[in-house]
C-alpha cells in the first residue's frame, strides 16, 4: 500500500492511488488533513487543467506547496478529480 511520508509523519496511505505521469494521486479520504494547509499557489497543465496546492506542515515545519490536486480537471484527467499528489521531499513508499 503506497504511503506518503514527510518529516517522520505518514501523511497519506492507500491501496487505491492512481498513478499519472509517475505520481501517486491519493484518494481524498486517504490523506490526513491535519498535515495540510491551503496554499494560494495554482499552476496550469495543458491536459489536466488547473492545479491547486497545499503546504505540508508536520511538527511545526512547513514544506511549501508540497501537495497538489486538481479540483476540476479537464476530461482527460477526470479520474484524479480531488485526488492529492506529493513532491518536494515527500517520500512515496510501498508498505
Predicted confidence at residue 25, as pLDDT, reads: 98
At 71, give phi and psi (nearest 5°).
-65, -35
Predicted confidence at residue 69, as pLDDT, reads: 98
pTM above 0.85, yes or no: yes
Evaluate if residue 32 carries a pLDDT over 90: yes
Closest CA to 78 of 57, 58, 48: 48
C-alpha to C-alpha distance for 13 and 29, rounded to whole angstroms:
9
- Pair 57, 36: CB distance under 8 Å: yes
User: What mean pLDDT do residues 53-62 have?
Assistant: 97
Predicted confidence at residue 95, as pLDDT, reads: 64
Amino acid at each position: 500500500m503506497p504511503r506518503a511520508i514527510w518529516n517522520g509523519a505518514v501523511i497519506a496511505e492507500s491501496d487505491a492511488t492512481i498513478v499519472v505521469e509517475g505520481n501517486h494521486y491519493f484518494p481524498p479520504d486517504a490523506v490526513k488533513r491535519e498535515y495540510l494547509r491551503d496554499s494560494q499557489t495554482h499552476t496550469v497543465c495543458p491536459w489536466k487543467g488547473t492545479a491547486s496546492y497545499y503546504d505540508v506542515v508536520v511538527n511545526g515545519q512547513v514544506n511549501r506547496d508540497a501537495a497538489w490536486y486538481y479540483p476540476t480537471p479537464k476530461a482527460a484527467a477526470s479520474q484524479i478529480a480531488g485526488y492529492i499528489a506529493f513532491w518536494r521531499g515527500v517520500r512515496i513508499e510501498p508498505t
